[in-house]
Each structure stands twice: as C-alpha cells, then as structure tokens.
Structure 1
Amino acid sequence: MALQQIVQETVTGLGYDLVEIDRTAGGLLRITIDWPWQPGSELFINVEDCEKVNRQLQFALEVDGVAYNRLEVSSPGIDRPLSREQDFVRFVGELIDITLKAPMGESAVGLVNPTRKKFRGTLERDATGQGWQIVWSDAPVVKPGQKVSKKRIPLPAHALGFTLDELRDARLAPVVDFKGRKPKLEA
C-alpha cells in the first residue's frame, strides 16, 4: 500500500482528519492531524491525541514495511495549512496568507505590483458565492494607544479573487494574542 493510503486509513480510523503528510530527506515522517470539523464545534488536538495516533501509525507502518527514521505526529498549529475546499469553508472571515503559483501579471497594473504573488488578508466568498477572494488594505496597522486623526482618509480595500488551482500555498496567518482567546463574532 502507498504511504498516503496507510496514513489516511489509520488516522481516519481513529476518528481524526489527516491535514498533511511531510517526508524529509533525513528520514523524518511528519503527520499533521486535526479533529473533523463540524460547524459550531472547536475541538483542539492535544498531546494524548498525537500519542494515540503515533502508536497506531508505528504498528501500521511496520506491518507494511515503510522505511522512516523518525515519526512525528502533531496538531496543525496557528499557521494551519489550507488545502481542501472544506478548509476554506471552515475559515471564512479569518486572516490568511496565500501564495499564488504565478504572479498577478498585466491584469493588476495600477492596483498592485504585477509581479506580486504573496498576499495577507481576510478570506471571503466572492460575489457569486462559488469562488474565493482575499480582501486586504495597505493601511498601516494602528498600534495600541496610538492616536489616529479623525481627518485621516482610510486607504481603499483591495480584493483578489482566486481558485484553489491557482494557489501554491495557503495558511492561516499566525496571529498571536497574549490577552486570551476571544469568542468569534457572529455576522
């Protein structure tokens, strides 16, 4: 059996979602798992979950003769990769980083640099409700305690529509707030 199939069957058989498989040249096999997503529930992977999957994967990989030097099972973390349509649906309204496979090109002249491939902004559905877009503003971030003039004209927001096929990489933007987890605001 192929490595992808062995890992997928083992992880889903234990009730988790397979997020990513990474195999390095040094023999490290890194498996990233998460709980299956259901709207309204936010469960987080803990050490016991990773240990449980690790033990089961060791047996499954040994039975099928998969060679590796070290196995690492982890949670997706704060910079979780987004690869499936379901991931994008789950994280609508969140701040994400995307990298396009190809630069914007001539269609972006005047709006943004036509050679730009990396963007950080809020993930949204496009106007049709079928595609995706990222919305951002080039305005500097206001620091806590900083006074902002009431006469200051806000910079316009930019929107870039994309399909999943156009993306090289998409991840949640790693934003750390040391004041504690805040509940999501309902739209």
Structure 2
Amino acid sequence: MNGSVTSQDLGEIFKPIVESFGCELWGIDFNNSGRSRLLRIYIDKTERPIDVKDCEKVSRQISGVLDVEETISGDYVLEVSSPGIDRPLFSIDQFKMYIGSKISLKSRIQKEGRRKFNGVLKKVDAQNIEVEVGKVDYVFPHSNIESANLISDY
C-alpha cells in the first residue's frame, strides 16, 4: 500500500491483531497530512480497563506488521492507547451505546455558520445522528461527521 491508505484499510489489517490479544479495536485516527503523520489506534476491553502492557503488546505486533508489509510509506508515529473517558466515537454502534450522553461533534459542513457542536446525543439511525444543543436539535448525516467524542462530567 502507499500514502493513500485509509483508516478502513488499516482497520481490516489491525482488527485480527488486536483481537488476538483479547482486545477490541475501538477506532483508528490517521492524520496523513503534513510533516508529522500520526497513526493513533484505540483499543478497549470489556472485562477490565486497558493498561500499558496491553498497549505495548498490540503496538509491537502492529509495528512489525506495518514494517514488513510496508503498509504506510514514509515516516509516521504509531500510538496505541485506550479511548479514555472522553473517548472518540467512530461507528454507528458506538454512537448508539452513548445515546443520552454529552458529546462534542465536529461537522465537515457548516450548520448555521459553525462546525463544532456540544450537546446531548438524542437519536442514532443508519444514516444520521441527532444532537440537542441547548433547545435546538441538529441532525448530522454520518458521512458529514469529521469527529465526535464523549464529554465527561468529571
């Protein structure tokens, strides 16, 4: 592969590796622009929190695969971590898990002159999510969501 590799392409490669360590691939954030390219892989576990050893094992294995297969050309930084308390949301299923929670969302397209919205996640379906900001409900097609993450109450 070359520099045009997508997060989806990487997910197909990484998912079996992550699962072999008893973890779930939560998501991939690949900043493939500029001089400092960052490949951030989020892993999670249901039975206990992710620890440094989990991240280290997964990182070592993924690094080896990336080096051998030359999946990503050029220099980049690989980071494996837990999604944390302000976890990013990547998939429809992840959004559904957090209906009723506060989220921060960045849209690819402006709505009412802005792209950033903080509010309560109200609805999720196959095409859209709905976020209540103040007393106004905003609907975002999944394809227009650049990024989203939980907002913790702590």
Identity %: 33
Match of 2:122 in 1: 124
Match of 2:59 in 1: 54
Is contact 1:20–1:33 with CA below 8 Å preserved after alignment? Answer: no
Q: Which runs of 5+ in 1 are unaligned?
A: 36-40, 105-113, 138-156, 178-187
Match of 1:152 in 2: none
TM-score, with structure 2 as normaliser: 0.73
CA distance, structure 2, for counterparts of residue 27 and residue 131 of structure 1: 30
- Which protein is richer in strand relative to its size? 2
Is contact 1:132–1:161 with CA below 8 Å preserved after alignment? Answer: yes
Check 1:69–1:162 CA distance in 2 against 1; reply closer, same or farther (3 A cut).
closer
Matches within 5 A, 1:77-156: 77-104=84-111, 114-125=112-123, 131-137=128-134
Q: Which runs of 5+ in 2 are unaligned?
A: none
Q: Which has the larger radius of gyration?
A: 1
Question: CA RMSD for the aligned pairs?
Answer: 2.9
Q: Deviations over 1:57-99 (max 9, x none)?
A: 2332233245656432111123322121011011111100112
One-letter identity of the residue aligned with 2:105:
I
Secondary structure of the equivalent of 2:133? strand
Check 1:33–1:129 CA distance in 2 against 1; reply closer, same or farther (3 A cut).
closer
Of 46, 50, 55, the match for 1:45: 50
Check 1:72–1:162 CA distance in 2 against 1; reply closer, same or farther (3 A cut).
closer
TM-score, with structure 1 as normaliser: 0.62
